[in-house]
């Protein structure tokens, strides 16, 4: 079970703004918590945070990288007009419809700046306008400024922002937040490291809160982490689409229920060796899980890590997530607990004799 202190840390992590390229604040929260697990905590130039627990085999043992990206989707200021209205473009993939009328929080040079997204009232729309979906370019943010000069005292072009919302718990262990994708992954890898540290195996395990995944077309921070730690094996932890709500096509996505355990990916970039280690451990521990098939890329950190250096045996563990890339993503706490236990125990199964080549 997740401890009260772990859940409190998770909520701090979720509530701290940090879109891709501007992950500094949540990264500091993550590193502060990592320091309670191990004395070996560091950051790198791209924005990754890494925490290491040495294995009993020392320098001769394999190195396992656990990666969950800490960035979230957000917006960035592109223009301030003469009336003080703020225009923006997305950081990461947004459905513009979920931005309409939202409250926003920008990370300004002198502190947070609050605002609201404006749009023409429905009363003033022509019939054909009402039928059209909103575009990012149709929206603006009102920060309460009277003119451009006043707005620029608080914000400038290039300042990032996120939807201003706080995490909340719903019945049956459901957790809701705007930043579950993928602060949940950053949380799970650290929780797995905490459990591994209580009884280390032969492998040295490095948990990484990676940067820039949502915009990391070249691999983001995960590629840098996999190369810098000389990993033999890597496990990416991300979210995947829960299919237990209306409108989801299980025939296309698979069957993944929140509360149904972690999701293990097969195919594509996934190492058969790393997958079998996870699946066999899950069966032995009687941890429920579902399977996801990826015929090509996975659109996660796994894609970059498996190509690092001479190749890294990479697996993907995902948490079922409802309403992805919205202000109210939802997961089940029991899935986080199960994923952390599964990953920690899988790491213990890796030894100096483990052959990561599927022969």
Q: Out of 72, 191, 213, 329, pick the active-site residue.
A: 213
Residue 101 DSSP SS3 = coil
Residue 294: phi and psi, rounded to 5, are -120, 100
d(CA 93, CA 187): 22
Residue 213: active-site member: yes
Q: Which of 116, 184, 173 is nearest to 324 (CA)?
A: 184
Q: Tokens for 334?
A: 């029991």
Residue 88: phi and psi, rounded to 5, are -150, 165
d(CA 342, CA 209): 19
Q: Which of 334, 2, 5 is nearest to 174 (CA)?
A: 334
Q: Which residues are CB-contacts of 60 (< 8 A; sequence separation ≥ 6)?
A: 352
Q: Is 161 exposed, middle or buried (0-12, 13-18, 19+ CB in 10 A)?
A: buried
Q: Tokens for 41?
A: 């905590």
Q: Is 327 exposed, middle or buried (0-12, 13-18, 19+ CB in 10 A)?
A: middle
- Backbone dihedral region for residue 36 (phi beyond 0: left; psi -120 to 50: alpha; all else: beta): alpha
Q: What is the dihedral of CA 176, 177, 178, 181, to 10 degrees?
A: -90
Q: Tokens for 128?
A: 């054909």
Which amino acids are annotated catalytic? 213
């Amino acid at each position: 079970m997740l401890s009260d202190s772990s859940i409190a840390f998770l909520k701090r992590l979720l509530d701290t703004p940090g879109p891709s390229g501007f992950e500094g604040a949540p990264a500091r929260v993550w590193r502060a918590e990592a320091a309670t697990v191990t004395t070996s905590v560091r950051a790198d130039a791209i924005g990754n945070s890494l925490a290491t627990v040495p294995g009993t085999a020392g320098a001769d043992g394999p190195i396992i990288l656990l990666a969950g990206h800490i960035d979230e989707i957000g917006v960035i200021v592109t223009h301030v007009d003469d009336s003080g209205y703020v225009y923006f473009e997305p950081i990461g993939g947004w459905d513009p419809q979920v931005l309409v009328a939202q409250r926003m929080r920008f990370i300004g040079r002198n502190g947070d700046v609050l605002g609201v997204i404006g749009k023409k009232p429905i009363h003033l729309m022509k019939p054909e306008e009402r039928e059209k979906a909103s575009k990012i370019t149709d929206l603006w943010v009102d920060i309460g400024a009277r003119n451009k000069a006043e707005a620029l005292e608080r914000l400038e072009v290039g300042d990032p922002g996120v939807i201003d919302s706080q995490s909340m718990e719903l019945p049956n262990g459901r957790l809701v937040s705007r930043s579950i994708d993928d602060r949940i992954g950053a949380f799970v890898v650290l929780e797995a490291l905490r459990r591994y540290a209580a009884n280390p195996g032969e492998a040295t395990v490095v948990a990484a809160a990676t940067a820039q995944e949502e915009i990391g077309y070249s691999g983001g921070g995960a590629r840098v982490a996999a190369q810098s730690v000389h990993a033999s094996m890597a496990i990416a932890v991300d979210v995947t689409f829960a299919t237990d709500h209306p409108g989801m096509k299980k025939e296309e996505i698979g069957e993944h229920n929140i509360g149904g355990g972690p999701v293990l990916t097969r195919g594509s970039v996934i190492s058969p060796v790393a997958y079998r280690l996870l699946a066999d451990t899950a069966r032995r521990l009687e941890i429920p899980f579902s399977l996801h098939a990826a015929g090509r890329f996975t659109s996660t950190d796994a894609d970059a890590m498996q190509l690092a250096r001479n190749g890294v045996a990479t697996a993907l563990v995902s948490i079922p997530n409802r309403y992805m890339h919205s202000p109210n993503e939802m997961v089940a706490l029991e899935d986080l607990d199960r994923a952390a236990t599964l990953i920690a125990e899988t790491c213990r199964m890796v030894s100096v004799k483990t052959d990561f080549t599927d022969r």
